[in-house]
């Protein structure tokens, strides 16, 4: 019988599994501390668990770890890590140094099925969902590579659509925030979605982590042309779900807005965005398009980006322009999946 990857289980599920094996539930807390705080890779090292229990655990479970296949470091010290998974898929995480902290950008899927026209991950298509262990394993591996680095923020903005892998994303956040796990505050974790409305509604009820929404356009025709998912959940439905977030959570959502030359970078779009934001006190993060080999879209001129930002700021909207990190190593937003795997064809 195949063994279960123990890192796929949030603490409640581990407690139930242990009970079924006749072990006390409190062992789950001890095991969590061994796995996530002491980072052991063998049940034999869990010395406060009885010997027979350790043997039983080793019969039932395994403790695999993600292996870094390639690391590239950019001029600004942004580091892109590529992991090779057991089935041959590859995923990437990006470690972004900020002034006072570091942010880790993690993947939730190998590829993405939503097929946004500007995104290299989407252009390359979908392989599969990541397991919980593969999501938290990115954090574990990057932490181990960078001891002493204040890796204080986690963003689910790597490859894939977190809400298309909803359960595993929430379980991974559970382990990241567990006091026996990585002990992150929910406020330091942000999940970004292209706008899967049913999951946004669930997330509002079920998670305390921050939400970012890739808005990218204010008109349905433009948005559907860029993001096919908009045909299923058009802007009206999306914004209605987000209003709910605001009333229930009183929190801030970040709208991400990828600016593409001659698509959505004109001032008319800024005016429309400001109108929408009258109803929501949301933040806007402008991301000038990062060019890549998968599409002919172009980055807008800097003046356009500045004019867009100034219009929003003059209408009292909190708006930042995301500085591009790691573009030369293809680690910037939307460039993940850029490393060509041998035998794989460019689409």
The answer to the question of residue 192 lying near ligand SAH (CB under 6 A) is yes
**Contact between residue 158 and residue 191 where contact means Cβ atoms under 8 Å apart:** no
| CA within 13 Å, CB half, 184 | 26
- Please say which residue, 7 or 325, places its beta carbon nearer to ligand SF4: 325
b/e burial code for range 107-142 (CB count within 10 A of at least 16 → b):
bbbbbbbbbbebbbbbbbebbebbbbbbbbbbbbbb
Min dist. Cβ of residue 116 to ligand SF4 (A): 3
Whose CA is closest to 166, among 188, 189, 214, 198?
Answer: 198
Min dist. Cβ of residue 155 to ligand SAH (A): 8
The answer to the question of residue 161 lying near ligand SF4 (CB under 6 A) is yes
Report the sign of the C-alpha dihedral through residues 104, 168, 92, 181, in that order.
positive
Q: Residue 179 catalytic?
A: no
Site map 198..227 versus ligand SF4, x via CB under 6 A: ----------------x-------------
Q: Residue 319 catalytic?
A: no
Question: Which SS3 state, helix, strand or coil, does residue 240 take?
Answer: helix
The answer to the question of residue 138 lying near ligand SF4 (CB under 6 A) is no
Angle at 125 between CA 121 and CA 127, to 5 degrees: 105
- Please say which residue, 63 or 333, places its beta carbon nearer to ligand SAH: 333
Residues touching ligand SF4, count (CB under 6 A): 11
Beta-carbon contacts of 334 under 8 Å, excluding residues fewer than 6 positions away, are 118, 119, 120, 121, 258, 289, 290, 292
Rounded Cα distance between 164 and 196, Å, is 8
Angle at 252 between CA 249 and CA 255, to 5 degrees: 130
Min dist. Cβ of residue 105 to ligand SAH (A): 8
Considering the candidates 92, 161, 291, 330, report the single residue annotated as catalytic.
92
Angle at 325 between CA 94 and CA 106, to 5 degrees: 20
- Please say which residue, 114 or 154, places its beta carbon nearer to ligand SF4: 114
Q: Of the candidates 193, 199, 210, 309, which one interacts with ligand SAH according to CB under 6 A?
A: 193
**Contact between residue 159 and residue 336 where contact means Cβ atoms under 8 Å apart:** yes
37-45, 112-120, 169-177, 203-211 -> range binding ligand SF4 (CB under 6 A): 112-120
The answer to the question of residue 122 lying near ligand SF4 (CB under 6 A) is yes
- Please say which residue, 28 or 74, places its beta carbon nearer to ligand SAH: 74
Binding residues for ligand SF4 (CB under 6 A): 112, 114-116, 119, 121-122, 160-161, 194, 214
Residues at the site binding ligand SAH, with contacts judged by CB under 6 A: 118-119, 157, 161, 192-194, 214, 216, 256, 258, 287, 289-290, 292, 333-334
> What residues act catalytically?
92, 333
């Amino acid at each position: 019988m195949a063994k279960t990857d123990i890192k796929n289980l949030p603490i409640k599920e581990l407690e139930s599994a242990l009970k079924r094996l006749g072990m006390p539930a409190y062992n789950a807390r001890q095991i969590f501390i061994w796995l996530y705080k002491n980072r052991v890779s063998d049940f034999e090292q869990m010395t406060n668990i009885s010997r027979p229990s350790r043997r039983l655990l080793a019969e039932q479970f395994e403790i695999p770890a993600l292996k870094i296949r390639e690391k590239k470091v950019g001029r600004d010290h942004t580091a892109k890590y590529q992991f090779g998974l057991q089935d041959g898929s590859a995923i990437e995480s990006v470690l972004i140094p900020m002034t006072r902290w570091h942010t880790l950008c993690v993947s939730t899927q190998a590829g993405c099925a939503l097929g946004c026209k500007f995104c290299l991950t989407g252009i390359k298509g979908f392989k599969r969902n990541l397991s919980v262990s593969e999501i938290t394993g990115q954090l574990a591996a990057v932490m181990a590579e960078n001891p002493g680095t204040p890796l204080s923020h986690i963003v689910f903005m790597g490859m894939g659509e977190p809400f298309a892998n909803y359960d595993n994303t929430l379980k991974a956040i559970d382990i990241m925030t567990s006091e026996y796990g990585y002990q992150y505050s929910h406020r330091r974790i942000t999940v970004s979605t292209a706008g899967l409305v049913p999951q946004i509604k669930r997330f509002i009820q079920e998670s305390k982590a921050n939400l970012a929404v890739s808005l990218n356009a204010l008109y349905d025709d433009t948005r559907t042309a860029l993001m096919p998912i908009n045909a299923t959940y058009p802007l009206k439905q999306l914004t209605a779900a987000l209003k709910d977030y605001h009333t229930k959570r009183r929190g801030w959502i970040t709208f991400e807005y990828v600016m593409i030359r001659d698509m959505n970078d004109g001032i008319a779009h800024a005016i429309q965005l400001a109108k929408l934001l009258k109803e929501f006190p949301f933040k806007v993060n402008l991301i000038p398009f990062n060019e890549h080999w998968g599409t002919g879209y172009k980055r807008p001129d800097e003046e356009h980006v500045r004019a867009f930002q100034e219009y929003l700021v003059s209408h009292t909207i909190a708006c930042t322009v995301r500085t591009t990190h790691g573009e030369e190593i293809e680690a910037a937003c939307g460039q993940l999946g850029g490393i060509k795997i041998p035998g794989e064809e460019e689409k």
